[in-house]
Structure 1
Amino acid sequence: MTGLGAVFRPQLAPERLRSVARLADSAGLEELWLWEDCFREGGVSTAAAALAWTERLRIGVGLLPVPLRNVAITAMEAASLHRMFPDRPILAVGHGVQDWMGQVGARVESPVTLLREHLDVLRALLRGERVTVEGRYVKLDDVALDWPPAQPVPVLAGATGPRSLRLAGEAADGTLLTASTSPEGVRRARQLIAEGQESAGRAPDPDSPHQVVVYLLTATGPDGPARIKAELEAEGLGSVPDLGVAGDAGTVAKAVQRLADAGADTVVLQPTGDEPDPEAFVRFAAEEVRPLVP
């Protein structure tokens, strides 16, 4: 079955999260995703609150920018969330927006090298291993978690370019793709992820397959097409075909299915930044779109 989720955009004030998360939980939506966008809302703090306010909803953070975070802190926070709320947090790590990383003095010369080192060490720490490493960016001396997760924890990598997508296949348990990814882009991502898995000698595991999550820019209502167009143009994506969807539940479900047919395991509906009613958007996803997605 194709997973379905929705995004709580950080353009909304943090105090709006409680009502949206509780509605998503009660309406039966599988996943609610949060962003750690500079300089809006912290990913781990909002995820912890949303997990505490809900009972069954999975909460994704897509994504935690690795230049901002010491890997030991990321591991401690991930382990704490997974021990308190087993199987419900979903954490993705990635490069972050390079201009924002520059603003805070965290931009690195080789983002791919940093992400590789971060992924390798993060996954080792979450497995309960004791790590000493002297990498280009990641340096740990005899570090282990006192409270590692009780069960294996998948770590997703946010990726867009070919090198990062291959790295996701080599070193991550899943991949998060942005709303700038068309169905053809998902197919290409799957190919590059598989190349990375092969180069690292990671045979596909049927019991724990590499999960691909993709955002889908979505709008409803009579002004939906205009809002989609405006946001894509603002992102410099106005001329890219097959991005975003505006319309009723049937139209959105067909767009979800196209991404699923291309290789997405989970599609997360991403409202526009000016979505006028986030609660209604979540209800639309859970009660109208979900029944139409196999």
Structure 2
Amino acid sequence: MRTSIMIGEVRGPATAADLRDQAAAATGLDGIWAAQALGWDALTALTMAAAQAPDLSLGTAVVPIRQRHPLVLASQALSVQAATGGRLTLGVGTGIGAMTTGMFGLPADHAARYLREYLDILLPLLRGDPVTHSGEFFTLSGTVHLPTDPPEVLVAALSPRLLHLAGSRTAGTVTWMAGPRTLESHVVPRVTAAAGSAGRPAPRIVAALPVCVTNDPGAARDHVAARFGMAAHVPEYRAVLDREHVPGPQDVALIGDEREVTAALGRLAATGITEFAAAPVGTLAEQHRTTELLRSA
């Protein structure tokens, strides 16, 4: 199992200097991931981070697709791929419905059909192929020309339909808040079976979770519950927490001292995931302590 780290606002409010420091501290790990939330653009954050960690892979976990036309996202992703020497993995997802409709005024229904059509357009665009398309959601004609190899694409998925789409059409899946029970019994077997049925290589399965190495686990759980509490109240994350049989994000986070978090990392590795993307949380000292453990794990 590869071990990577998340940078940016998933860890708390982050300045440009914070992003650079977090990326530099990732030396010795396998990769850096950035989420698209309410602040930093994930692809921009990764481009900034790339100079501080020239040997690490980079990935978005994830970019919601409803707000970005596939021609726009293809151009952005290929630009980052070219600027960082071909290190990008483009993680995409259908997004949180309440944010899609409430903030952007966009429809959020028919997620699997929308994603399937989006991939029909995005994947050839990333290869530099011209696309002329008229479908249920998009009508377009265009191409993106950049002298770089296409980035691998991962799909954020939990439902059986989206997991099948991730395994059969892309390099795999990336999850957030999925604990070991859900990964082992639901995510890993479904996406692996879909890739096999499609004749594709074994999929990449990247699992992202909050982590805090601490001597005060109660305070760390309270911090995670407060910071990520929304996840317990929106259908997309309520579903993943229900599969894990836990009430909130604090119950899937990896929290404890070095021995306890190391044991939790071993449990994750046993699920069959290919990469763990850790989001260090807590005080700055706890985040540094967490990063040190991840580096030595």
Q: CA deviation at 1:152?
A: 4.3
CA distance in 2, matches of 1:99, 1:164: 19
In the alignment, the residues of structure 1 paired with residue 51 and residue 169 of structure 2 have an alpha-carbon distance, to the nearest angstrom, of 30
Letter in 2 for 1:145: V
Matches within 5 A, 1:131-146: 131-141=131-141, 143-146=142-145
Alignment of 1:1-294 (within 5 A): 2-10=1-9, 11-15=12-16, 16-24=18-26, 27-37=27-37, 39-102=38-101, 103-141=103-141, 143-149=142-148, 151-197=149-195, 201-205=197-201, 209-228=202-221, 231-232=224-225, 234=229, 235-236=231-232, 237=241, 240=246, 243-272=252-281, 275-277=282-284, 281=287, 284-285=290-291, 287-292=292-297
User: Considering only aligned residues, what root-mean-square deviation do their CA atoms show, in Å?
Assistant: 2.4
> Residues of 2 paired with 1:188 and 1:105: CA distance?
32
TM-score by length of 2: 0.84
Measure, in 1, the Cα distance between the counterparts of 2:165 and 2:278: 25
TM-score relative to the length of structure 1: 0.85
CA distance in 2, matches of 1:184, 1:191: 10
Percent of residue pairs bearing the same amino acid type: 25
Q: What letter is aligned with 1:125?
A: L
Contact 2:212–2:290 (8 Å) recurs in 1: no
Q: Distance in 2 between matches of 1:215 and 1:31?
A: 12
SS of residue paired to 1:118:
helix
- Pick which of 178-187 and 72-81 moved more: 178-187
How has the CA–CA distance of structure 1 residues 169 and 20 changed in structure 2, closer, same or farther, with 3 Å as cutoff? same
Is the 1:216–1:268 contact (alpha carbons within 8 Å) kept by the matching residues of 2?
A: yes
Query: 1:282, CA displacement in angstroms?
Result: 5.0
Q: Secondary structure at the match of 1:175?
A: strand
Residue 211 of structure 2 contacts residue 290 of structure 2 at CA under 8 Å; is this kept in 1?
Answer: no
Structure 2: unaligned runs, 5 residues or longer: 233-240
Shift of 1:267: 0.6
Q: CA deviation at 1:53?
A: 3.6
Unaligned runs of 5+ in 1: none
Counterpart CA distance in 2 for 1:204 and 1:232 is 38
| 2:214–2:256 CA contact under 8 A, matched in 1 | yes
Counterpart CA distance in 2 for 1:210 and 1:145 is 26
Deviation, structure 1 residue 154: 0.9
8 Å Cα contact 1:66-1:114 kept in structure 2: no
CA contact (8 A) 1:228 1:245 kept: no
* Residues 56-101 of structure 1, C-alpha deviations (whole Å, 9 max, x = no match): 2222211110001000111111111112212322220001111111
CA contact (8 A) 2:75 2:144 kept: yes
Count matched residues.
277
Aligned to 1:106, the other structure's residue is in SS state coil
